[in-house]
Amino acid sequence: MIDTSTEFWDPPPSRPSLAPAWIGASLSSATILALVAAGGVVAHAWNDERYRETGDACSRLDITAVATRLGDPKLRPQPSLTPGACTYVVENENGIWDSYGSVQMDYSINAVGAWLAWRNQETTGNPREVPDLGRAARLTVQARNVDGEDVCSASVEVLDSNLLFRTGIGTDADIPSRPCDDLDALGDALIESARTSLARLAESP
């Protein structure tokens, strides 16, 4: 038989201390702020359209540094048959191409689209990262012998805002400016031309 003469002790409900409660509230606030900030960054990237496709893009390019390295200060890019592409050549006295350069500009509707294209594209050779050029950039240089002729090449790929910018040069080693004697200088010339060209392309039409 249960003795009902003694009352059962019913402890009061426990209350969390102020410290855990404050930490929980702070974490919740921090999480909310982080999500809001992240959403703002994504929204900004989604709407980032720094570059707009224009019909005079080739005339806006600045390849002065490359032209100097190849010994042809009058070098000017011209529109190619490929959409969004420009080309330039250095010819010898027989009218044969000693150097061939190209620039390809692929515009996306926003920075997110360009970033996805950048992430999914294949790379060849052994590119190295180029700091302080667009959002991301990589340079590839190489020298080789083709059918007994020494040649060299350099290429730069840049991701910036909603634009994928690719520029490259291939040249014979024995032209008077001797561009293949210093591949680093050839790569630096291409990087400088990419940098100045992007600044021009980003200007309002």
List pLDDT tens digits, range 111-163.
998 888 888 777 666 789 999 999 999 999 999 998 888 999 999 999 999 99
pLDDT at residue 175 is higher than 90 = yes
Select from 80, 46, 81, 66 the least CA-distant residue to 187. 66
Contact 121, 113 (CB under 8 A): no
Token pair 């294209």 is at which residue? 117
pLDDT of residue 93: 82
The pLDDT confidence band at residue 47, using thresholds 50, 70 and 90, is low
Query: What order do you get walking across the sheet with 136-146 strand by strand?
Result: 78-79, 85-91, 97-107, 163-172, 149-160, 136-146, 128-129
CB under 8 Å to 56, separation ≥6 — which residues? none
pLDDT in tens, 2-38: 444 444 334 444 444 444 443 344 445 444 333 333 3
- Kindly state the tokens that stand for 18: 């102020």
What is the mean predicted confidence (pLDDT) over 51-56? 88
| Higher per-residue pLDDT: 195 or 36 | 195
Q: Are strands 97-107 and 128-129 parallel, antiparallel or unpaired?
A: unpaired
Contact 200, 61 (CB under 8 A): yes
What is the mean predicted confidence (pLDDT) over 50-56? 87
